[in-house]
Structure 1
Amino acid sequence: MAIQRLSVVVTRRLPEPVEARLGELFDVTLNETDRPMSREALADAMRSADVLVPTLTDRIDQGLIAQAGEKLKLIANYGAGVDHIDVATARQRGVLVTNTPGVVSDDTADMTMALVLAITRRIPEGLALMQAGDWQGWSPMAMLGGRIAGRKLGILGMGRVGQAVARRARCFGMEVHYHNRRRLHPDIEAEHEATFWDSLDQMVSRVDILSINCPHTPSTFHLMNARRLKLMKPDAVIVNTSRGEVIDENALTRMLRAGEIAGAGLDVFEHGTDVNPRLRALPNVVLLPHMGSATREGRIEMGEKVLVNVKTFADGHRPPDLVVPAML
């Protein structure tokens, strides 16, 4: 008698090799349109499937989990962040949650440094000048930016991505400072030549560039609020490739417009695709459409982690990337 295969619903399009392998191993339902599934469609999927493979565009909250059927036993998230999933409620209902950590740390750190350079060296302004055909030739005082060597970089969140940013920053000759929920081991600090600040307020007030690399949790929501943003130096810049909710976007917009912060590079936004139009209009801001982890290699590696988690679960073992509420 044939062994019953797990039914798996994937909420968005994944790289073709990943979808093909899922189809070989499981009874898989793919989202051919690649449009975010409605709440009703997600509820239907969670009633019919053994495994749901969502992404950060799917809000798996308490109410949705309450509608899940008895079949659902695993939410194998495609992505490292799980702030869109009510992990505690899922576990209470006997549903495991996994993620894909550590895969895109280098990709995200690369984008962080790209944004740092884009702002400090005025790359988008230069690009716009060339595309408009307005360049009149070189002159000593034209398009002056700033040198990043010797600048103080403050990293908010010194996990995998934060440490990858620190490695790159040191290669550019920057001073690395960091604030973290827990201080790193002295050996890791020495490796990155990093200075720990127990007080986020004090670090923010002293650095030239602030990089947001912490997850979105209840304790980090608006961690960079209006009061803390006002502590930054007027010539400082802020870069966020983590989660938009960490920054009070309205407060940041007001300060950028007033010249109280020199610039910002944002790959994520507080309200998803609903970006403040006043923010989009500012010349001292570089905005990207959540591209930090968008490499072909990274997307395939994320999918491979999903495959390992689901296959390990199907074989009756603990998935390697199991998320438990105590980790959050």
Structure 2
Amino acid sequence: MNSGKPNILITEPIPAKVIDHLRDFANVTVGEKGYFQSEENLINEIQPYDALLCMLSVPVTEAVMKAGSNLKIVANFAVGYDNIDVETAGSLGIRVANTPDVLTEACGDYAMGLLLALSRKLKEAEQYLRDGNFKGWEPLGFLGMELRNRNLGIIGMGRIGQAFAHRARAFGMNILYHNRSKLDPDSEKALDATYIEDSGELAEKSDVVSLNCPLTDNTHHLVDSDFLNRMPVHALLINISRGAVIDEVALAEALHNKAIAGAALDVFEKEPEVHPKLLTAPNTLLLPHIASATHRTRQDIGMLAADAIISVLNGKDDREIPNLITP
């Protein structure tokens, strides 16, 4: 490493433009995919680095940050940051950054895509054709849910929740939402959205429930057996937030018992592990955490994280770095 430049660790490969941008400023090391998901590996190798650009799967714990005696900033390649011990970072004077805003539209599109695929049974219909079973148009084949005049219940009405709501409104859906607080009147009016204070009541009133909330102590296993039992039997569940918002055992049982009609999941509690009962559940669309997977969005995520790193290492005032997290 060149001692005249700061040292940056990127925990696995990201878009080349981002890496090149950082290499103009610093010595950059890019880890192998999965290697720094091990806390032990990170502890053993973090000490020389001034900055860490990491994935949600990387455990940035108290022990990691104490081992990183030169660390000045940890930047997550994600909008979430539940993998980072933010309080410890604050106590050690380490800045923490995430990447809000840049993935909103991609995630809004993706949530709408999941809903369309799930409600119209696209995965099952395609497999039916590929298996050689398609013999011609069938009047009772793969009947699904029409979206117009159905209720979409959104849990977590932040940027992504609102982006999904705008798209669903274009399909004629009615918007219900549960959030830590009500939207401002103008935003609520723009979506013609109805606030539901109790998440269980939202479950009862929704034909589709979408999870777009952060993972906190209050949202951990929010969707449990009680929540699922309150959903109508024809209802669908979508999750692009965090896997642990759902009790996966309870969901698998609900799907196998046809207590709800289907689920589309982009995230899982113990990624990359998927609960085996979910793998065999009917009308279930399971995808490998790709909600933000567009060329433009992934590059924008990386550039926002990189610019936060460069700003902090250059001594820029925290108030001028909009994506820093305050403990």
Give the TM-score, by structure 1 length: 0.95
1:134 and 1:128 map into 2 onto residues whose CA distance is 9
How far did 1:3 drift?
9.3
AA at the equivalent of 1:13: P
Moved more, 3-12 or 135-144: 3-12
Q: Structure 2: give runs of 5+ residues left out of the alignment.
A: none
Q: What SS does the aligned partner of 1:28 have? A: strand
Match of 2:48 in 1: 48
Match of 1:111 in 2: 110
What is residue 271 of structure 2 aligned with on the other side? Answer: 272
The residue number in structure 1 matching 2:16 is 16
Distance between the aligned counterparts of 2:104 and 2:275, measured in 1? 28
In structure 2, C-alpha distance between the alignment counterparts of 1:225 and 1:36, rounded to whole Å: 33
Matches within 5 A, 1:158-307: 158-307=157-306
Contact 1:234 1:262 (C-alpha < 8 Å) held by counterparts: yes
Counterparts of residues 62-81 of structure 1 (less than 5 Å): 62-69=62-69, 71-81=70-80
Q: Which residue of 2 aligns with 1:324?
A: 326
Residue 49 of structure 1: how far off its partner (Å): 0.6
Q: SS of the residue aligned with 2:46?
A: helix
Secondary structure of 2:126's counterpart equals helix
Q: SS state of the match for residue 154, structure 1?
A: strand
- Separation in 2 of the partners of 1:18 and 1:174? 39
Partner SS state of residue 149, structure 1: coil
Alignment correspondent of 1:6? 6
Deviation digits for residues 30-72 of structure 1, max 9, x if unmatched? 12x3333232331133211111111111011223223221x11
* Whole-Å separation in 2 of the counterparts to 1:35 and 1:155: 32
Q: What's the secondary structure of 2:194's corresponding residue?
A: strand
Q: What's the CA shift for 1:217?
A: 1.3
* Matched letter for residue 295 of structure 2: R
Whole-angstrom distance in 1 between the partners of 2:45 and 2:181: 39
In structure 2, C-alpha distance between the alignment counterparts of 1:270 and 1:108, rounded to whole Å:
19
Query: Partner letter of residue 293 of structure 2?
Result: A
- The whole-number CA distance in structure 1 between the counterparts of 2:62 and 2:169 is 43
Q: CA RMSD in A?
A: 1.4
Q: Distance in 2 between matches of 1:307 and 1:271?
A: 28
How many angstroms apart in 2 are the aligned matches of 1:230 and 1:283?
A: 17
TM score, norm. by length of structure 2 = 0.95
Q: Report if the CA contact (8 A) 1:204-1:232 is conserved.
A: yes
Q: Distance in 1 between matches of 2:42 and 2:246?
A: 29
How far the C-alpha of 1:18 sits from its partner, in A, is 0.8
Q: Deviations over 1:52-109 (max 9, x none)?
A: 111111011223223221x111111111110000000111111110111111111111
Equivalent position amino acid for 1:55 in 2: M
CA distance in 1: counterparts of 2:267 and 2:167, whole angstroms = 21
Structure 2 counterpart of 1:143, which letter? F
